[in-house]
Amino acid sequence: MTTTTLAVLVPLLPFLGAAAGLLLGRGAPGFVRPLAILPTLTAAALAVVVAVRQGGGRSIDAATELTPTGSVPIDLSLHLDGFAVLVAVLVGLVATCVQIYSTAYLKDDARYPSYAALVSLFTSAMLLVVYSGDLMVLLVGWEIMGICSYFLVGHYWETPEARAASLKAFLVTKLGDVPFLIGLFALAADTGTFRVTGVLAAVTNGGLDHPTLIGLLLLAGVAGKSAQFPLHTWLPDAMAGPTPVSALIHAATMVAAGIYFVARLLPVFTASGAVL
């Protein structure tokens, strides 16, 4: 199989595992734990294979047009460089450990099937963010992560602390996502593309007309996801969720997604001294 095919399977497998887990959770509970662990473990192994094949050398890009928009096109695209493939391995490794630990931690929890499916879906979304070469597709993974975190933080919904924490996490992160979305549109308007490679090429050639405005708008979304001041208040309350959720979302992946985004589009931020 080609490297791009394997890369497509990396976020796809946890997604399929989540869908199967939700469908079979009540009717066939014996399949829930294998469906939680095996797709994520396989995705982590494939991420290692992709990383070895990429080898930190020249980036691998593949794309197909998702839909004509009449203006800036949106593509289903992969952008695999050394940074992306390394982060994908780390995400797969942490998610696999969390799924394995959760089988014992939530052994007697009646809501474990939905929990495991949400963790798999979150993992799929994070891997989509890491591998995506198009900012609109990245945004899809970005928002799915936020929705999954809402449900996972509120897993113990019978307690008022968990309900309040999940709602706070959702609203505060979405407060940052609104300017983030506007910033992505402004970036595409300046550069004429949502493709990461196209954006970076345009910035290198001086094609960014409003670097300060765009950088600040994007940083608002980063601050929300990564719990940076002043959008940091949701993170301490979010510890009301199960311990494995804190390990996955608040210590390893979602709070790192904002940092990953900054690193991915670093020339956009360095184009403005005010943003730095």
Evaluate whether residue 222 is within a structural domain.
yes
- Domain extent at residue 198: 3-270
CA geometry: angle at 36 spanning 32 and 42, to 5°?
Answer: 135
Q: Which amino acid is at 177?
A: D
pLDDT tens, position by position, 61-112 = 787 876 776 777 788 888 888 888 899 999 999 999 999 998 888 888 788 8
Residue 275 counted as domain residue: no
Q: Does 276 fall in a domain? A: no
Question: Distance (Å, rounded) from C-alpha 231 to C-alpha 87?
Answer: 24
Query: How far is CA 111 from each of CA 148, 227, 244, rounded to the nearest angstrom?
Result: 15, 28, 14
CB 63 within 8 A of CB 193: no
Share of the chain above pLDDT 90, in %: 17
> How many domains does the chain fold into?
1
Contact 14, 123 (CB under 8 A): yes
Question: Residues 114, 25: contact at Cβ < 8 Å?
Answer: yes
The yes-or-no verdict on residue 57 having pLDDT over 80 is no
Instruction: Name the residue among 121, 120, 168 with its Cα closest to residue 143.
Output: 121
Give the model's pLDDT for residue 270.
85
pLDDT for the residue numbered 80 = 87
* Phi, psi dihedral angles at 272 (to 5 degrees): -130, 125
